[in-house]
Amino acid sequence: MNTQNNLAKKIKLDYWPFAMGPFTMAIVYILYAFNWQAVCGKHIQEYIHLVLIAAALVIFTATAIKQKNLFHFIMAALCFSFLCRELHFAGTSLGIYIAIAIITTWAISKWKQIESVIEQGKIKPWLYATGFTYILSQLIARRVFRNLHLPNEQYLHVMLEETVETTAHLMMIITAIITFRTKIASNQTSDLSQNQQKQKAVFTKTTLSDTLETDID
């Protein structure tokens, strides 16, 4: 019973990032109540989007080059697609959906190779929560919450979408950092294990040599 309770608490603690999207929506409403909603404006948020997703792209790309792990290459490709969309050049409106479909298919086909990375540390909850927050921003963009009678949705939906998307980009950076640090920890553990095996092999070899010399004497 205690084990089940501990597991439930761990799950709740690990998956708190899923609350970041709804929390961001609440922040927008608070700013609106104090007439400070200008900070959530579309133009300001779009500049922030460029900086954040570019930062995530740099981290994932650098990690992919250094670690040569498929997961990092896939995430770098995804960030590059988002960056192109934020630049708003011709073809990106449709292109982003094509890119996501291709990247998703790629990830599913190579799932066994990337699953071991996702399962490490806190990568899974942050990765899934980031995806959820991106989806939430798109639901807002498509006015899904209008049917749910969200207060002032007609006036605030653009600010809600842009601000929640900003949060999703920020979460992508956090995911990239966590992934990078977790991978380093994994490598350090692996290196330590290899060193221990080498030391054990040297000790065994030395012991065997001493035993042979003793038998010869």
The domain locations on the chain are: 18-207
For the entire predicted model, the pTM comes to 0.78
Helix 42-67 to helix 70-87 angle (10° resolution) is 160
Per-residue pLDDT of 179-199, as tens digits, reads 988 754 444 444 434 555 555
- pLDDT for 55 equals 98
Q: Does the pLDDT value for residue 6 go beyond 70?
A: no
The arithmetic mean of pLDDT across residues 159-181, rounded, is 95
Per-residue pLDDT of 101-152, as tens digits, reads 999 999 999 998 898 889 888 899 999 999 999 999 999 999 999 888 899 9
Joined together, the tokens standing for residue 64 give 């992919």
